[in-house]
């Protein structure tokens, strides 16, 4: 099945500026996936490939993204110097086609001051970001106002829900943290602490299961995926390397 690109509603421009970034989310500890373990109907894309675009945020310094080869892998290096940006790919994946997401990253060091439960220290060296559509009538009044702000700033509404896979300093893999400014952003901790710094790590996650665990409801359509490295809150310098992001159909999950 080929996933088609679509107009990506609101993305993060207003959600991030108005609501801020944050957190980590819940679920079982991640399990490693071999980079070779791909199904024939899988959608696979390097963040260096055509179609990926950099999203910068008003008033914020920009994270740098560079296509490199790292330890024999094709990768994108993200370098944040008191900055925040994302590199994103627009998608239109219907809910009944959601399967697994496979991704890889390498992080050389933690951001020592970071705490993703605090607005003023919410940074992470590595994040995989998934953006979903959904029933906007379920927004709280504050979320509806935020969505209107997004429309005013960008001409588009903010995403219904955003799920992140993140590297936390100290929270255990599987823990859920809701963004302190909006419940529409939640994150799954897939790596924690310094044990696995400095080497490539490969993951496979069940998108539907993680979304349901984090938000307590079935997911809507997947509208986009992104990589994100940020250090704007801690005013620090950090970097990470990202491999390809692979999406497989529901029936291909093992």
- Identify the CA nearest to 239 among candidates 249, 231, 247: 231
| Whole-number percent of the chain with pLDDT over 70 | 80
Residue 65 lies in a domain: yes
Residue 203's alpha-carbon distances to 60, 120, 152, 235, 239, in angstroms, are: 30, 29, 37, 29, 19
Query: Could you list the residue range(s) of the whole structural domain that residue 77 is in?
Result: 13-252
**Confidence label for 28 from pLDDT (cuts 50, 70 and 90):** very low
**Confidence label for 23 from pLDDT (cuts 50, 70 and 90):** very low
5-9, 72-76, 159-163: least confident range:
5-9
* Residues written for the chain: 254
In three-state secondary structure terms, 115 is coil
CA gap 104, 241 in Å, rounded: 8
**Confidence label for 119 from pLDDT (cuts 50, 70 and 90):** confident
The per-residue pLDDT for range 160-190, each reduced to its tens digit, is 999 999 999 989 999 988 887 788 999 999 9
Total structural domains within the chain: 1
Residue 8 lies in a domain: no
Q: With 0-12 CB in 10 A as exposed, 13-18 as middle and 19+ as buried, what is 3?
A: middle
CATH of the domain at 166: 2.60.120.200
- Token pair of 103 as six digits: 């991704």
The per-residue pLDDT for range 77-107, each reduced to its tens digit, is 999 999 999 999 999 999 999 999 999 999 9
CA gap 30, 233 in Å, rounded: 27
Residue 225 lies in a domain: yes
Residue 1 lies in a domain: no
Strands (E), 97-236: 100-106, 124-132, 161-168, 176-178, 185-192, 201-206, 222-230
């Amino acid at each position: 099945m080929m996933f088609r690109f679509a107009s990506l509603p609101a993305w993060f421009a207003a959600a991030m500026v108005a609501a801020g970034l944050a957190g980590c989310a819940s679920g079982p500890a991640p399990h490693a996936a071999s980079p070779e373990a791909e199904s024939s109907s899988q959608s696979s894309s390097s963040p260096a490939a055509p179609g990926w675009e950099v999203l910068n945020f008003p008033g914020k310094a920009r994270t740098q993204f560079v296509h490199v080869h790292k330890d024999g892998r094709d990768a994108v290096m993200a370098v944040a110097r008191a900055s925040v940006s994302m590199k994103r790919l627009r998608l239109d994946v219907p809910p009944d086609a959601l399967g697994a997401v496979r991704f890889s990253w390498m992080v050389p060091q933690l951001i020592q001051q970071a705490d993703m439960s605090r607005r003023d220290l919410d940074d992470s060296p590595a994040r995989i970001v998934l953006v979903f559509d959904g029933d906007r009538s379920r927004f709280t009044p504050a979320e509806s106002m935020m969505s209107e702000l997004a429309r005013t700033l960008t001409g588009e509404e903010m995403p219904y829900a955003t799920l992140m896979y993140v590297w936390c300093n100290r929270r255990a893999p599987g823990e859920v943290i809701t963004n302190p400014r909006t419940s529409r952003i939640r994150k799954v901790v897939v790596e924690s602490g310094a044990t696995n710094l400095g080497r490539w790590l490969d993951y496979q996650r069940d998108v539907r299961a993680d979304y349901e665990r984090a938000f307590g409801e079935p997911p809507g359509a997947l509208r986009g995926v992104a990589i994100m490295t940020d250090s704007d809150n801690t005013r620090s310098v950090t970097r990470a390397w990202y491999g390809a992001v692979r999406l497989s159909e529901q029936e291909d999950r093992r």
